[in-house]
Structure 1
Amino acid sequence: MKQILLAAALFAATTLVRAQDFQGMAVYESKTSTSDIKTRMESSKELTPEMRAMAENMMKKMFEKTFILNFDKTTSVYKEEEKLEAPGQNQVPGRMMSSMLGGGGTFYKNVKDKTYTVDKEFMGKEFLVKDSLPKLDWKMESETKQIGGYNCFKATAVRKASKSDIRNFRPKKADDKKDAKPEKEKTTNLMDDVEVPDTITITAWYTPEIPIAQGPENYWGLPGLILEASDDKTTILCSKIVLNAKEKVAIKAPTNGKVVNQKEYDEIVIKKMEELREMQGRNGGFQMRIGN
């Protein structure tokens, strides 16, 4: 009986997607674990409880975000939900960090052409990153679960970790710290204790009941909309879906910014991060400014 109902749902969904003007909207909640940073802050003697509380509040805003995905049969636009900033709030560091956290722009995907375009602002400069969608060799798993009433199937893949995305930072292993400075010479430079792995394993849950090869961020290529994607630090979960609303949304690629490919953009970000790290080392370690 369950298989019959699922088959009927898939037939209805396929008919719906084939409609000429098919369009949908999905809301995703993204959350990145900050336990590693919190542990480092708790061990720091330079941070007062008040400074620590302010820093944790700032991290929550940085690492817990809401995104909107508007999609049709072959294209989509993924963008952070716009929120009003408090008067006088320092927005420049926030925009820079947002770009390093997979946000900060309009992420356009065309799964038919297998290309993407995303506009990013970094260090006061606008970039337009245009490249081919990363090929993900999905392994179909047997596990299933429901997300928001939709039947979802599990799939896993391994992809190269981007060194320009700070969500990929991981604490260095004990063996990697054997050349570390003596305790009395240690600074509070967070970059000294982190590294980026070569690859990251992704777990995704997709629903064939919405048979399009779309998903949040640069996730794509499964026989159904991806409703959840996660690695060991970041989870992106769909909280709402609206199909064929009366008001249609224009799904267009962004056009502003200096055109670069992903490799070129990563090199720009990594170079600037290394420069900032050197500056912090000369100034006696990591310094955190909050507010003005």
Structure 2
Amino acid sequence: MRRLLILLITSVVYSQHPTSGVVEYTIEATSSEITNEIAKVGKNNSEQKALLEMFSNDPALFILEFNGNEAIYKNAKNVMQSEAINKKKPRFLEVYAGGDAVFYSDSLEKNSLIQQNSVGELFLISSKFPEWELTNETKKIGNYTCFKAKYISKNGNRNSIDEIWYTPEIPVQFGPNKYIGFPGLVIEVIAGKIRFTATKIQLNSQQTIIIEKPVKGKKITEEGYKKILEKAADELGF
């Protein structure tokens, strides 16, 4: 699949240490392997057509807003009043990137909240910032020198490795989805065959950014939420 031209990252910077900002992230597949596998389902197949639509090449768009030590990350259709965006059907990339969940993070308290609709109920899931493996490996993304971090998680009998690139040149601990707590803004994430890319960065604009901490939903820890999902899966026979 095509890769976005990440060199087109734009930024507006009025001070060395940003206190607020808005970042647009696009989420896309890193290769054509997914659609190639779907194509094997069979020609003139309605299921194939539905799958291809779900795994469309069109990237998903999410917005990160931050002010001081607080940030919110959510689907662009929940931020932008765009009829074209709002009419789009949910797709795999959109669901993977966060769906309709609201991600709140506090870099001072080192904790996060996810407001998530699941199994017919609204949850408010709390967790601490993840622990990342930081490295000295660097690369240039647009105008920024970025450092690599890794996260290794178990997926069944296999380990999956997420590759995160952040820049200390923008010293805030925020990023897309669960990718928070780094010594700089997250510019790119490669998680399996999915890539998150910061394609537009606006810092310290004159527009007032208000971060509203989510409060509605059943309060639960991340571990407690996982147990609820496991129980629901067992009841459905998965």
For this structure pair, what is the TM-score category when the shorter chain's length is used for normalisation? 0.7 to 0.9
Deviation, structure 1 residue 43 = 4.2
1:75 is aligned to 70
* Residue of structure 2 aligned with 1:204, choices 154, 164, 187: 164
The CA RMSD over aligned residues, in Å, is 3.0
Q: Which runs of 5+ in 1 are unaligned?
A: 1-11, 162-194, 279-292
**Counting strand residues as a fraction of each chain, which structure ranks higher?**
2
Residue 152 of structure 1: aligned partner = 145
The residue that corresponds to 2:213 in the other structure is 253
Q: 2:86 aligns with which of 81, 84, 87?
A: 84
Pick closer, same or farther for the CA change 1:231–1:84 going to 2, 3 Å: closer
Q: CA deviation at 1:41?
A: 4.0
Give the letter for the 1:28 counterpart: Y
Counterpart for residue 24 of structure 1? 21
What is the aligned partner in structure 2 of residue 225 from structure 1? 185
Paired positions, count: 218
In structure 2, what is the equivalent of residue 52 of structure 1?
48
Q: 1:253 deviation in Å? A: 1.8
The CA deviation at 1:25 is 0.4
> Which of 129, 134, 137 lines up with 1:138 in the alignment?
134
Structure 2 residues not aligned, in runs of 5+: 1-13, 78-84
Is the 1:95–1:121 Cα contact (8 Å) retained in structure 2? no
3-state secondary structure, aligned to 1:160:
strand
What is the alpha-carbon distance in structure 2 between the residues aligned to residue 49 and residue 96 of structure 1? Answer: 19
In 2, Cα distance between equivalents of 1:97 and 1:265: 22
Q: Give the C-alpha shift of residue 244 in structure 1.
A: 1.7
Larger radius of gyration: 1
The letter of the residue matching 1:84 is N
Identical columns (%): 24
Q: Whose helix fraction is larger, Structure 1's or Structure 2's? A: 1
Q: 1:128 Cα deviation (Å)?
A: 0.7
Name the CA distance, whole Å, in 2 between partners of 1:252 and 1:160.
Answer: 31
Residues 104-129 of structure 1: per-residue CA shift (max 9 Å, x gap): 21100112211000100113211110
Contact in 1 for aligned 2:24/2:64 (Cα 8 Å): yes
Secondary structure (helix, strand or coil) at the match of 1:117 reads strand
Question: Is 1:152–1:205's contact at 8 Å kept on the other side of the alignment?
Answer: no
Q: Give secondary structure in 1 for the equivalent of 2:232.
A: helix
